[in-house]
Structures are given as C-alpha cells and as structure tokens.
Structure 1
Amino acid sequence: MIKATVVIFLYIIYLIGMHIYAAPFSDHILVKAVEFFIKNDIDFKKTILVFPTQRSKIYFGHYLANLSKKPALLLPNMYEVSEFYQEVTLSHYNGVILDELQRNLLLKEAIGKVKEDLTPLFKKERFLGSFLEFTSIGKKLLRFYDEIILEDIDFDALKREGLYTEIEAHIHILEAIFREYKKLLQKRGFVDPVIKQAKANLNLDFLRHFNALYFIGAISMTKSETMLLQKIDQMVPVNIFFHTDKILTGQHKVILKRCGLKEEDILWLSSKIRFRPRFLEIKAFPNGISQVAFIVKAVSDSIIRGTGPSEIAIVLPDESLKDAILSFIPEKNLNLTMGLDIRHSLIYGFLYDFYRLLAGERESSFYHKDFLTFLKNPIVKNLCLEGKPIREDIECATSFILKENLIYIPYQPLTQLIPRLLRFILEEKTHLGKIDNLYDFCNYIEHFLKSLHRYLKESGLLEHYHQKCALNDILKRLKELGTLESIGISIADDGLSYLNFFLDQLSDKTYPIPSDMIEAIQVMGILETRNLSFKTVIIPDMNEGSLPWKSEKDLFLNTQIRKRVGLPTSSDRENLCAYYFKRLMDGAHGVYLCYVEQEDRGVRSRFIEKLVFKEIKRPGVDIEDVEKNIAQGKAYMLSLFSKEKTTSPTTYSSLVKDSADLRLLHKLKFNHSMLTAYITCPYHFYLQYVLGIRPPRQIEEEITPLDIGKVVHATLNQVYKNYRVWEMSAPKLHDVIWNTMQGHFDYLQPGQEITLDVLREKLRLFAKNECDEFSSGWLPELEFLEYKMEAYINLERKEVCLSGILDRLDKRGERFRLLDYKTGRQLSQKECNISEDFKAPQLPFYLYLLKLKHDLSYENCEALGIYDLKNTFEIKRPYQNFQKDPISYMKSFEKWLYDTLKQIFSKDKPWHKRVSMDCEYCPYQDMCNQIGG
C-alpha cells in the first residue's frame, strides 16, 4: 500500500513537469529572478539555485540583498552548473574524482597501450610521445570525449556514419583509446567526473533536503543534462529560466523539445518586450593596441552620461588587450575576471630564464644569448647574495661578454667576474640534478622560491601585491602538481625536465587579483557575460575568428558526420555566439564595437556587417558615410599616444577665488584628506571645504569599507587602551577584539549583518599577525593610539593650522613606525612616491606633525606602514623611497606640502574642475555637472 502511494505521488509530480520561465533581453534576468522569488515568497532553505557561471551567483546574491530589504537574510543554496552536477550525482563505485590534468595523464597512458599509428589522427599536430607535446593535444581529445559522452553518442553510431570515409580508421582508434582509458579508471579506482555526470546516478541524500530547483539562465544543454534534470524533476520540481526574445534560439527550442514542452508553455516574467534607445558606435583600427584609446573614451563618455562603473562591461574576445587596458584605466576601477597571466610575472620569468640557461649549457659553458638574458632578468639584477648586491658584478660580466664576442662562456672567467652568482647557479644546478621524482621536485621549488624571496627582501621587487598574488598562485599550483604521481605515471626523468614540465603547465594559467566584483568596471570574456546585463557594452577585436570564435571540436569529426549523429556543428556554435552578442546588445543603452584592419586578423565580424547593413537600410543613410565614420579610428590613436594620456585629469572649467574664499581658507585646519581632495580636483575641495557642502549620504545594504573602518578604529583603540594585548595568545586576542567590536555594530544600517561572519574569520589573521609583531619586539605606544595632533606653520607671513589623527605608533627600542589601518583600497608605490602621481600624503603628513610637536627624528622612523585590513592583514610598506632615504624623502614631502598650500591660498590659482576616471566615485558628481558646467 505504501509503495503504491509513493508511486502515485511521484507520478503526480512527474505529470506536473518542468516549468519554463522567460525574461526578454531588455530585462535583467537576475533581477527578474529575484523579484519572482520575493513575490512568491520562496523558501530558500529548501531551494536549489543553479547558475551558468560563478559570477552569476555573486551578482544574484547582491541583487537579492538589495531588493529583499530584510534586516538579515540567509543566502540560498547556490551552485555553478558544473558544481551542481557533481554534487547531485554519485559514481557507481567509490574512487578519487580526477581533475583535468590527471585525466590527461591517464589518457596518455591509454594512448600508449594502443598500438595503431596515431599520427593521421592528429593531422598536423604530430604525436611525439613526449608528455609536453601531448598535453595540448590531449586536452582536445578529452574535450571530444566529453562531448560524445554528454550528448549520449556511442561509437557504434560514429562507425556507421563514418563507414567508407577517410575518418573510418580514426573512429576505430578513438574507440580503442577510450576503451583503454575506461579500463584504467576502474583498475586504478579513479572516477571521471564527466562519465559520472552522464550516468545520472542521483544523490538522493542530497536531494531529499529540497523541494524546488531553479536553473537561472539556461542557454544550451547537452542531452545528458536534460535527461539528468528530468530525473531530478521526478523528485524535486525543476524550473528553468530562459533569457531570450520572442523568437527563441535553436538551443532553447532543443531544450523545450527534450523536456516535452512547447513554446506556448513558457511563462513570461515580463508581459512585453521594451526596446531601449541604443547609442551605437563602430570604429576600425590599424592594429590591436590602438583600440585601447577607443575603450578609454567609451568608458569616459559613459561615466559622463551618468552610467555607473559596475554598469560598464569591457568584453574581450581576445584577452591579450587586458594588460594594455590596465595601463590606461586605474586598476582600482576595474574588475578583471580572467586574471593576469602567470607567464608575465617576475617569478615565472626568472624560472623560465633559469631553465633556458641550464638547458643550453654544454661542457661547463653557457650559451651567450641565454646567459645574457639571464643577467638582464630583473630578479637576477636585484639579488643580494652572501650579504652583498651583485648588480655591479653583472655589469662587469655583461661588458666582458660583449667585448669578447663569445658564443659560449666558460666558467673560468665567470669565477672572477661574478663569483657569487656563479656559485648560486651551480649549487641550484646540483640540487636539480639530484631530483628523480615529482615529490622532491615540488619540495625543492618551494624552498627555492622562498629563498629567492629572502635574497630580494631589501629591493622590494616582489613586494608589489601583483607579484605576491602570482607567487602565491604558483605555490598553490605546485602543491596541486605534487599529487599527480599518485596516479602511477612517470612524468619526467630528472629535475630539469620536471622544471620544463612545471613551466609548461604554468604558461597558460592566470592568477586572480583582488578587486570589487560588484562596484568596478567589468572586464571579462564573452562567456562570463551570461546572465549579466550592462548599460554600456564595449567589445574590441570584432574580427572573424575572434567573434564568432573558432572551435577545435571539429578536429576529429567533420561537420557532416557531426550533424548526422546529433553533435553540435560549427553552425550551432556560431548561433550560440550570436545569441550572446544579441543578448548583450539588446540589454544595453550604449554599445561600442571596434575591429582591427590587418591581413593576419581576418575581415571584420559578421555581426558588424549585419549592423552596418541594418544601418544603411534606414532612409537617408549612405553606405559611404557609414564606412567613412567607421574608418575614423586614427583620431583615437592620436589621443592614446599624445603627451597627456586619455585618463589623466583634464581641466575643463574653473571658478576664480575671491577675498571671501581666502578668508575662509585661513580659518581651516588642514588635514591630509583636504590636501588629497585638492590635488585630485580643486573644485571638489572648493565644494566640500570652502562652501561647506557635505557629501550626500548613501544608505548601503551591505557593510562598506568605510563602515568597517569606523568600527575597526573604535574597537582597536578601545581594546589596546584597556588590555595588555601583547601578553595575549592569538585566539585570546581575536576573541577580545570580536567581542568588543560587536558592540559597535549597532551604529550600522539594518541589513548589513550579512557579512559579519566573514569579517569575524578575517580578524583571526589580524590577531595572528599582531602576535607575531609583538613577538618581534614591536609594541604599540598607548599615548599615540588615535592620537590627535595640531601644529602651526608659517606660510608667506601667515599661520596655517595642520591637524590629523594618527591611528597608531609602534616602538622597538629607539626605533618607531607609524601605522594606518586600511579597510578599503590599498596604496600603490607609485602613489606614495613624491612625483606628479603622488596621492598618499597621509603618513608623511603625520610624521611631519610629530616632528613639529615632539621633535621626533625622521631617521629613527623604521617605516610608514599600511595595515591591510581588507585582504592580507599584513603590514605593507608602499613608501619605498622613504625606506631608502627618510631624510631626503621628507624634505621632498615638506616642499610638496608647502607648494600645495601655496596653490590653495594663491588668488591666481582658480578652483579648477578636473575630469578623470575618479569622477565617477566623487560624491559631488551630480552637483559638478549642474554648477559651472
């Protein structure tokens, strides 16, 4: 009886079937989804949300927090699609799930067991047996196997369609490799994640906790995906959200058909499609780099029109432009989703040059090109070996090699020219020579890189957070690499070959950099744009081959066979790319497109051709005028390479100072924020400090860095004045800080409690670092905690008051250091150098005040430190020039201070307006646009 009831219950659920919801391109699908959930009062505890990208999850959480307006909110169970499929399925046997590189290794062994001639299979990419040559080919082969597994295509079907064709033999080889690969999986007890997903063996223990599943932004699904969702739907109702216009894409129609639904079954979240007026600009450029000026101008124009930074997307079909963009748009204003290339980091460059040096060695001699390249490496030039710098030795050795015109440089003269560097090279060569397994190699490289960091400590070369991020990512990947030989396959025979293998693995990897994913300008690949909508869309490199992009999936099967067996063809992939492009276009207010006119770059994209054709169909529009306008890209090149960068502040309006302004100025107490405001924009200074207009207050749904900063300052001041913190353990210090801090959160806006748990965990890092600092002898001076200072200086026969509040002064013996807590954006070394880019006067300003009040010596100041309370929770030293020569640096600062104050008090210097990338973050931007033009 019970069994019958269960069967009937499941049958009723299955009859209900999946629900398909849709939002038009003109609406933001994530916002529509949030509104849907709020309206229907969805219980998130029992709901699964699936998204096509990790970024979609983050944006959804942000919109949910903003739109729900609840004081506290439990975030739903959110998964990126591949995460969900692994969570919801079980393997038929217990085993370790392999990652892509481990799968590649096992596939290499499977190929080794197949005796047929493989060269025809890989066409131009000849298979040579070496793992290094195999890895790129192996990835393509894995992608092919993944595709046929997920589309539920068996090799019998491929053999039938390939009968009597040129690829008939290839299919038999492919089948033999795959059969051997599956044998190795079972023999070794490993699980292939794609096979596991396709088997659709449901994890019932996981599913029983939920009563609904929502797939937000489904675009294209394989046959196994739809089958898996249908099985899930028998236990947990499945709801799929499309982002589409009224004419469905082919991919959406396939999903409907496989789910047994029709277009009439779609439930629209919006009653009608709203077509937004769109600004469209298209330009052609002679080379890739010249597109950057166009991108910068597009960003600037969008911000001037009132578009927020997070509403601007720079979509890169070709990621090679990202470094150039970072050179012209301040990094603080960007969120770079694809990260930075490891191969461009200093550590990778050093390892690569070191490998080339040793690989080219013969008979105790170095090849001259490799050796000179090694000597020019910035890390090598800044090494401090055996307690002394080697830069002068390197210069002498370089001159000798060039003068003697040697092809191979023997060791003997180098023992006189660069004895310490030669000993370093030969010692490391000896260590590498003793390595015969991956475990020892990983330990060696980890020790080697940490030693290298010590050799460079005085130069600060690796202290930039980009280089720290790169080093941390390299060490993380090194640990991952250490697990590979557990599969039982030998990768290399000696240390030098392992180093070559490791460099090859790193060459196409990227490392993330800290950024604000929600607030900054978004720089991403086109696949990352799924589920996201932007007011401004900027796409460079709109050439055929880049957009739509070429696919490698036709390497093993031709289009005709793919079509007959039901595999996606190149036409299907182009249609999918067209969907991504149209969705971005139709959801935007402003669209900027450009392409490169070079023979090796191909013709402009078909998507541009369609837009041009659409434009010339309008009455009165001439094709010559359209093409002439597109060809005007040279004007942007001139702006890019002119003396003033496009992103530098440009004066465009000003107000003359009057006597009333000057009288008010003499009543002010000048702090570092006022000086920073003036050098950034005199007009901002005028509005805030002369007219006394307060910045408009904004109510935030989440805890902001400013909120955290206020709480941290109050908490640490209270704790350090009432407890002997230097006698506490790290856990004890953390508990005291946290318990004290909780009393300060009453002052925050409702709904900001969501991120408190994250903050609590981060404070553990702070407590540990503080205890380490106390152990090394640095102790906070209680007198100087949150220390308020005022001093007067004479400026052209008149007294000017300077004031400030120092966060903290630490002492160790006779030495002292100033510390400032930073919970927001961290300072760069460039901003801390006294030059035209100087934007960080705070700590030198405080040191100058301390000298005026207490006659503290500049020489005894160990550091001007920034306590990073956002990312690393370490004390950073961006004032590198101060470290090198405190007296000279402070003399330059004093001159800068007096010169800046003179400009502020000079009647001949008007209140200039300056437009820059920082204007979008200025609280007076609306007022600035209205007053004074």
Structure 2
Amino acid sequence: MTTFIHEVLQTLKANKEIIANLTFVLPSKRAGVFLKNNIPHVYQQTVFSPEILSIEEFTSNLSQLKPISNVELLFEFYTVYKELTKPSEQDSFESFSKWAQVIIQDFNEIDRYLIPQEDILNYLSAIQDINHWSQQENKSDFIKKYLAFWNKLLEYYNHFTETLIHKGIGYQGLIYREAVNNIESYIQTNTDKKLVFLGFNALNKAEETIIQELLQNELAEIYWDIETSYLNNPLHDAGLFVKQYKQNWSYFKANPFNWVSNNYTQEKEISVYGVPKNVGQAKQIGSILNTLISNRGNLDKTAIVLGDEGLLLPVLNSLPSTVNALNITMGLPLSSVPLATLFERLFYLHKDSNSNYYYKDIIAILSHQNISPLFEINPKTKITEIVNTIQQNNLVYLNTAQLKELSEPFTEIIEVLFGTWDNEANKALKQTKKLIFLIKNNLDNKKYDNLLHLEYLYRFNELFNELSRLHATYPHLKNVQTLFEVYKNLLSSETLDFKGEPLQGLQVMGMLESRVLDFETVIISSVNEGVLPSGKSNNSFIPFDVKLQYNLPTYKEKDAVYSYHFYRLIQRAKQVHILYNTEADVLNGGEKSRLITQLELEGIHTITHKLVLPDVSLSKPTLHHIYKTPNVLERLKDIANKGFSPSSLTNYIRNPIDFYNQKVLKIGEYDEVEETIAANTLGNVIHNTLEDFYKPLEGKQLTVDHVKHMKTLVDTTVTNHFKAFYKQGDITKGKNLIVYEIAKRYINNFLNLEIEELQNGNKINIVAIESENKVLIDLKELDFPVYLTGKVDRVDQYNGITRIIDYKTGKVLQNQVEVIDWEDLTTDYAKYSKSFQVLCYAYAMFKDRKVNLPLEAGVISFKNLSSGFLKFAKKESTYDRNKNTLIYNDTLQFFETELKKLILEICNLEMDFVEKEIE
C-alpha cells in the first residue's frame, strides 16, 4: 500500500522540488509526524527538513494572533459584557457562561466564513423582533430587555474583537478573518516561499480565500485526496466539498486538479459487526486484534478509530497482552481519573454555605483512595473508627468541629477537607491547593509505587494553577458555584497524553486524528446514527434558514464531513472492520449508521455481516456447601452450652448458611446509619416501653387504673427509648417523626385494647415480663449438653388460662400460628416460623417449671391489633375448623420430637451446612 503522503512526496521529487524550501500545511499536527517519517524513504539522502505546520499554526502566524482557551475567552467576553451593560441588567458570570458560549461559537462561525458582521447580526436582531413581540403595543420589561440584548449583539461583537486584537489573542474564527486581511501583505513579502497544502476536505470560507490567493500567485500547490467513485457521483456526500472547489475555483480552470484516484474500488475485505453495548464492542475489538496477531505476528499499519472517544478505556482494557507496540493519539480525559471524583465531591459539599455535612458525603470523601491513606496509623486507619462512630450514633449530619473531635490527631486534614469555604472562590482555591500538597507528601513516601497517581496529581495541580491565574487576572469568580462551573469547563478539555511510538505498532485514535493518514487494516467503532454521523445537533442562535442564506454550515455539511473521513479511512485499506452498537440508545446513538447501509447499496465490495453476542448461557447457581470440621463442632458445642435461641433455630430453618455465618463465624449484620428509623429499632422501642409499664405489675392483677396511668407515660417513655436506640438521630421531622408517632399510636392502641378487655369483665394477672429461660434438652445422641434459651415478652393469666405472648410489630395473621403436620415446623420457615417460636417459649417455660399445663401461646401483632391475641392452634387439615388452641403435654411432646431432630441435624458432623435456594 502506497500512502497519500508518500505519493505527494514522490510527485514533488519528480517535479525537482527542493524539499527544504517548502512549507507543508496539513489539517493536523499528527499528519506532520508521518510526513517527516516518509521524507527519508522518498529522497533517500540527507536533506534539510521542511517547515511543517498545521492549518491552525499557519493562520495564527498569518494573523499575528495567539489562540486562547474557551474559558479565557469567556472571561474576556464577560469583561466586555459588563462594560456595555448596566449593572442592574447584568447576569452573573454563572448565568452569562450558559448563553455566552453559544454566542462565541456563532461569532466564530461568522468570522470563519467571512460573513459581514453587521449584516447578519442586525438581521438576527430583526428576526427576534418580528418573530416574538413586534405586534405587541405595550412591551413588558422582560421583553424590552430581551430585544435590547439582541440589538446589542453587534456592539458586543465589535468591542469583543477589538479587545482581543489589541491583546494579540483570538478565537479561531477571528484568527482566520485576520489571516485573510493579512494575506496580501504575506504574498508581497514572501515571494520566494512555496506552500504545499495536502489532505484538506471541508474548508471554511477564510481557508478557501487564503488558499486560492496563494494558488493564484503561484506561492502554493494543493493536493486533494479524493476518489473517482464519489467525486463523480452528484449524490455522494463524501465528495460534496471537493466537487464544489473543482467546479468553482478559477485556479482549476487553467491548472490540473491533483488528485483523483481509484483506490476505493480495489478489492477489500470488509466485515461489519453488530455488537450489543459499548463494552461488547471493546471486547470484539480485542478479539479481532487477537486474530490479526495470530495471522500476521504484528499490528503494524493497523489502526483503531474510535467513533465514540468514550470507548478509549474499555478498548485499552480489552487489548490482548501480545500487543507489544502501541501509540494512542487521543489523550485520556482528565475527568475519568479517580481524583476527579474527589474534587467533584468537595465542590458539591462546599458549594452551599452549609456548616453541617451529610454523612454519606463525608464517608465518600474520607474513603476515597487518595484520602484514606492520609489517616493511616501504622497498619490501621482512623477512617474505620470514624465511620463506626457515625454509624453507631446515627449521625446523619456532622459539622467540622464534630469531625475534628472524631479524627484526633488528624484535625489538620479534616480542616483542609471540611473547613468551610465561606462561598469564596479564593478560599476554595487555597484549600484545594493545600489538599493537593497533602496528598503529594503522602505519595512521595512510596514514590515509585505511585508514579501514575503523582502524574494525575500533577495535572490537577496545573488545572488549579490555571484557575488561580484566571481568578487573579479576571475578577469574575465571586463564589464557589461559579468556580465549580469554570472548573468543570476546564476539566472537560484537559487530557492526559500517552507516550508511545507514533510510527510503529497499533495506532489508537479518534476520527479527526485519522486525517491524511492511511492504514492497511482499519477497525472503526461506534458506527451508529448519532455518532457517525453525529446527527442534527444545533448549538447556535442562528436559525437554519439564515445559515442557508449566508452559506454557513448546517447538519448537512457536518454529515458530509463525517462521510468523507469514513470513506477516506477505507479507500486505501485492504482489511476493514466496522462495529456498531445493536442496542438503540437515545443519548449515544440509535440504529446502525446510514454509512454502513450506503456501503451495502453501492455494491462495489463484498461485505461480511456478523452479529456478535456475548456468551450468556445460564449456569445453575452453585449452592454453598460448608463441611462440618472438628473446629466447627467445637463452636457448635459452645453455642449449645450457651443455649440455642428460637430466632437462631428459625434462622437455620430459613437457610443453614445464614446460621453458619451469624452463629458459627459470628459475622454480624452491617451496621448502617439509620437515616430513617429501622423496623428493628421501632420493635425494640415498643418492647422496652411495654416492659417499663408492665414489669412493676408482675404477680399483680391488672386494673383499668393501671393502664390509664400507663397512657399518661407513653410520650416520655417512647421518647426516652428512641433516644437510647436511635442515639443522635433526629426524630423531630420527616419520616422519623412519622415512625415516632406510629410507635406511640401502636402502644396507645394496645393499651386501649387492654382497657376494653378489662371493662368487659375479663381478669388479667401479670405473671412475668421479659422472662428469661434456659432449659436442658435431653439428647442422648450427643456427648455434650444442649440448652434452649429464650426471653418471653409476657406471661399472664387470662380468666385463669395461662398465656405466653410474643409481641410482633409487623403484621401476623392467624394462619401463621397454626400447624397441621408437625414435620412442617422445621422445614417451612415462611409459614411456620411464628408457630415454632411460640412453641419454643411454651416448651422452655414448662420445662423450667414456670408455668403449668394446659396453656395458650401466641402472638399480639401491632399491625393486626383488631384480631387480638393470635393463639397457636393445631389443626387436622387446612379446612378443619375445630382448632385446638390449648397446649397440653402431648403437644409439647410432638414439638420436642421435631426440636430434637432439628438440633441433632445442626450438631451432626455427617450433615453439612447446605445453602437453601431462596425464592
């Protein structure tokens, strides 16, 4: 394959051009590297290198203006805006920046295409007047201000451009317009120079004017890279611009048009892959590269061109390990570096002048990979201690003083992170710079392990230095929110550049970096509508019809640009792999691109289509299987000696692995901050409140006066218990206040039910409250003692019948405390766990000789209080209405049989802990 650059150099050599006297002007700097590399291959002797410039460098030299960043342009424009606008009508910089960027972009287009500024800006003003409010006799102040803004556009433009030219700086369009103004002077003073333009396609009016003037004065040559197949096709967008130049430029009426080639029609191997999602495309690229390496042994003259540059990291992570030479033309966006999330969190934390910070924001910052090492003490970290304290005390909001108290001896770091910024940009910049140096000092301790992190930090230091410079130069950064907007603007344009060999091995680049370059094998990703081409995006105040009238580019021209780049990549390639996302995504492109369909309809090449799907064969999940070792048995002996509780046994019934984790391994549940009062906290408060009320009445008969007195204590008792369990959590507002009121309502409703029972003539004697039991279970099969423990919420005598009562704050129905087959008690958790628990309490209390038979056991459900006391019942069948609610000796014997079977299963070394499938 002979590349376009190589062909141009051969032609210049054949024409006896002295290359050292030439100046090459290219669409991009990247192409200059390949041009310089090709010179020795063509001339094969020692020569002086020619001057090689990008078009931006050439026009900047011609205009004597230096390009500046978009952010600095905004600051310059805001200075002009404030000078021309009454203080009472001025927008803040934050509001200004939202519309000013679009205005600057429109100024840029107007200048690039050499549109008379006065004509188009006055025209826009007149359109606004006609379209909106010219028919209204009495215009509101808002309408007057709106129209005044449009009327001032020309004044803004004139002052803005004059200010920039005076300072020797400019945006791209202004640089181009000034370059056109200076072209005559350049021609007169550079008669001995010769320029070579190559690889251009879509030229703006300024570029056209400059190049034509130089051609007419025989100071330049231009070499196009265009194909016969789309130059001669009036409907083919890839040749849209070059066709116009060939037809309209007077230079080509007397001079040859270089060049039109037929590379595109030569035989090519084109494969199109439909792949779901972006990660799928990245993995498929890795698979294609593996095949190429297997067939060729290297990836020279191979390029990956990313239609969506957001695919860079997934593609890099998917490259085969056998890729030994790699060059990445595009930079890694600084916004994707881990440090970016840290500074973003800090800005969000401080952009409001709140002195209290939300605990999740605090934990996220303290746990960040660049912050947590700052709190290390020997091998431990203080962060764990701080987080535990926050969680245990339900500290939803904390201030800096509280954090310092929790963080001794790291108060300096806490001050840097959480010391208030007072909504001042200057203070925010000082604090962020302090933080950067704190992190740097920590990374320097293990410098060679942290080189990449130090590079990240250095780039952020540069970014904040630039913010500090802008803040010192322009007095527009008044608050943290404005600083944050400027920070985000700067961050979006900053990249980390990769180092690589630009002329060897695999090349990874974006679509624009591929200009003028040729590769034998090309892999193009994200060839979807909305990506390639980008579609009808319109970030402009200039209406579509006005753009047409003044020959400004519209989405039609933008589509043609993408079409040209796409076809130019293919025209000299021998092997082409095109990937598109099969999953329609409104934000990131829809169906496959029209460019793929166009390739198919042309019928020039045979195209192989492949639909690539990930292997999603479902494998049956493997259930955990824990063998009972002698160590496990020793732990079970300890548990048995302390006593199996009803809840631990039902936990085993539900899933043996949960029992193993919680009881054998002693893995507790993760203790989170309760922003909203949890169900277990609500239950504990209700249980403890009722214990306070009824404990003093043990051994006494309950009276209406007793209960009425309890009602007067509900508020204070519930509040005290919430404070004990919920620590420093706030129960005075929001959902917590609702839960607090629900707790009081539950207790009052329960006490009302008690009063009703007593007023109906029922006698209630309180036997025991929160009665703790521990009884030995006679298991001859085991050589160690086994106990059953349990705390019973309430035991009373109701009209002479002993009742064992378990309080439940959740909803329980009567059928959940009924059993048909005894064997079901230890197999079906969902249906029979409540029955199992109350029978455990009855069994333990009877064995402990605290109650006599017969008795009743059951549940009082606070969410189902209208059903009263839900008694355990034994039924013969589902439809049996003759429920036996009294518990006799035979009832407990049947239960004991099932209980012993369950405990023997738990303690049997031959029966492993096997996970249950939870539906």
TM-score (norm 1): 0.57
For residue 43 of structure 1, what is the aligned residue in structure 2?
Answer: 18
1:607 is matched with which residue: 595, 598, 610? 595
Q: How big is the shift at 1:583?
A: 1.2
CA contact (8 A) 1:360 1:366 kept: no
For residue 289 of structure 1, what is the aligned residue in structure 2?
Answer: 279
What is the RMSD of the two structures over their aligned residues, measured on CA atoms? 3.8
The residue identity in structure 2 corresponding to 1:528 is E
1:55 equivalent to 2:30? Answer: yes
For residue 329 of structure 2, what is the aligned residue in structure 1?
Answer: 337
SS of residue in 1 equivalent to 2:573: coil
C-alpha distance after superposition, 1:25-82 (max 9, x if no partner): x852111122123333422332111000111001111111333322x44221010100
1:655-804 maps to which residues of 2 (within 5 A)?
none
For residue 326 of structure 1, what is the aligned residue in structure 2?
Answer: 316
For residue 86 of structure 1, what is the aligned residue in structure 2?
Answer: 60
Q: How big is the shift at 1:347?
A: 3.2
The residue identity in structure 1 corresponding to 2:384 is E
2:158 is matched with which residue: 159, 178, 182? 182
The residue identity in structure 1 corresponding to 2:570 is M
CA contact (8 A) 1:150 1:222 kept: yes
Q: 1:218 to 1:35 in 2, by over 3 A?
A: same
Runs of 5+ unmatched residues, structure 1 = 1-25, 119-126, 640-933
Q: In terms of Rg, which structure is larger?
A: 2
C-alpha distance after superposition, 1:685-708 (max 9, x if no partner): xxxxxxxxxxxxxxxxxxxxxxxx
SS of residue in 2 equivalent to 1:419: coil
Q: How big is the shift at 1:276?
A: 2.9
1:380 equivalent to 2:356? Answer: no
The residue identity in structure 2 corresponding to 1:539 is I
- Between the aligned partners of 1:497 and 1:271, the Cα distance in structure 2 is 53
Q: How big is the shift at 1:90?
A: 3.7
1:153 equivalent to 2:93? Answer: no
2:575 is matched with which residue: 590, 599, 615? 590
28-37 or 248-257, which deviates more: 248-257
For residue 641 of structure 2, what is the aligned residue in structure 1?
Answer: none
For residue 507 of structure 2, what is the aligned residue in structure 1?
Answer: 522
The total of aligned residue pairs comes to: 585
2:612 is matched with which residue: 633, 639, 644? 633
The residue identity in structure 2 corresponding to 1:44 is I
CA contact (8 A) 2:212 2:251 kept: no
For residue 222 of structure 1, what is the aligned residue in structure 2?
Answer: 204
Q: How big is the shift at 1:444?
A: 6.5
The residue identity in structure 1 corresponding to 2:102 is K
For residue 139 of structure 1, what is the aligned residue in structure 2?
Answer: 101
Q: 1:98 to 1:206 in 2, by over 3 A?
A: farther
For residue 401 of structure 1, what is the aligned residue in structure 2?
Answer: 390
- Between the aligned partners of 2:47 and 2:378, the Cα distance in structure 1 is 56
The residue identity in structure 2 corresponding to 1:592 is H
CA contact (8 A) 2:305 2:511 kept: yes
CA contact (8 A) 2:128 2:150 kept: no
- Between the aligned partners of 2:151 and 2:501, the Cα distance in structure 1 is 47
SS of residue in 1 equivalent to 2:61: helix
Q: How big is the shift at 1:243?
A: 0.4
1:349 equivalent to 2:344? Answer: no
1:250 equivalent to 2:235? Answer: no
CA contact (8 A) 1:332 1:520 kept: yes
- Between the aligned partners of 1:196 and 1:176, the Cα distance in structure 2 is 23
Q: How big is the shift at 1:599?
A: 4.4
- Between the aligned partners of 1:313 and 1:525, the Cα distance in structure 2 is 10
- Between the aligned partners of 1:343 and 1:545, the Cα distance in structure 2 is 23
- Between the aligned partners of 1:470 and 1:431, the Cα distance in structure 2 is 26
SS of residue in 2 equivalent to 1:539: strand
CA contact (8 A) 1:116 1:173 kept: no
- Between the aligned partners of 2:77 and 2:577, the Cα distance in structure 1 is 44
- Between the aligned partners of 1:436 and 1:209, the Cα distance in structure 2 is 53
Q: How big is the shift at 1:208?
A: 2.7
For residue 76 of structure 2, what is the aligned residue in structure 1?
Answer: 106
Q: 1:159 to 1:129 in 2, by over 3 A?
A: closer
Runs of 5+ unmatched residues, structure 2 = 132-145, 232-238, 619-919
1:208 equivalent to 2:193? Answer: no
C-alpha distance after superposition, 1:522-547 (max 9, x if no partner): 22111111101111111221211101
Q: 1:253 to 1:171 in 2, by over 3 A?
A: farther
1:548 is matched with which residue: 520, 526, 533? 533
For residue 276 of structure 1, what is the aligned residue in structure 2?
Answer: 266
For residue 824 of structure 1, what is the aligned residue in structure 2?
Answer: none
Q: How big is the shift at 1:309?
A: 2.4
- Between the aligned partners of 1:311 and 1:434, the Cα distance in structure 2 is 54
For residue 195 of structure 1, what is the aligned residue in structure 2?
Answer: 174
CA contact (8 A) 1:162 1:168 kept: no
CA contact (8 A) 1:110 1:180 kept: yes
- Between the aligned partners of 2:440 and 2:387, the Cα distance in structure 1 is 24
- Between the aligned partners of 2:531 and 2:196, the Cα distance in structure 1 is 33
Q: How big is the shift at 1:212?
A: 0.8
- Between the aligned partners of 1:276 and 1:180, the Cα distance in structure 2 is 54
The residue identity in structure 2 corresponding to 1:543 is N
- Between the aligned partners of 2:317 and 2:478, the Cα distance in structure 1 is 42
Q: 1:107 to 1:412 in 2, by over 3 A?
A: closer
TM-score (norm 2): 0.57
For residue 670 of structure 1, what is the aligned residue in structure 2?
Answer: none
SS of residue in 2 equivalent to 1:198: helix
The residue identity in structure 1 corresponding to 2:162 is Q
CA contact (8 A) 2:27 2:199 kept: yes
C-alpha distance after superposition, 1:353-404 (max 9, x if no partner): 33334346733x321121011122001111157xx46952101212222333
Q: 1:606 to 1:106 in 2, by over 3 A?
A: same
1:417 equivalent to 2:406? Answer: yes
- Between the aligned partners of 1:139 and 1:218, the Cα distance in structure 2 is 28
The residue identity in structure 1 corresponding to 2:592 is R
1:485-500 maps to which residues of 2 (within 5 A)?
485=471, 489-493=474-478, 498=483
SS of residue in 2 equivalent to 1:524: strand
2:442 is matched with which residue: 427, 446, 455? 455
The residue identity in structure 2 corresponding to 1:611 is L
C-alpha distance after superposition, 1:637-682 (max 9, x if no partner): 899xxxxxxxxxxxxxxxxxxxxxxxxxxxxxxxxxxxxxxxxxxx
SS of residue in 2 equivalent to 1:78: strand
For residue 916 of structure 1, what is the aligned residue in structure 2?
Answer: none
- Between the aligned partners of 1:367 and 1:616, the Cα distance in structure 2 is 63
Q: 1:520 to 1:133 in 2, by over 3 A?
A: farther
Whose RCO is larger (CA < 8 A, sep 6+)? 1
Q: 1:495 to 1:410 in 2, by over 3 A?
A: closer
For residue 523 of structure 2, what is the aligned residue in structure 1?
Answer: 538
For residue 77 of structure 1, what is the aligned residue in structure 2?
Answer: 51
CA contact (8 A) 1:384 1:455 kept: no
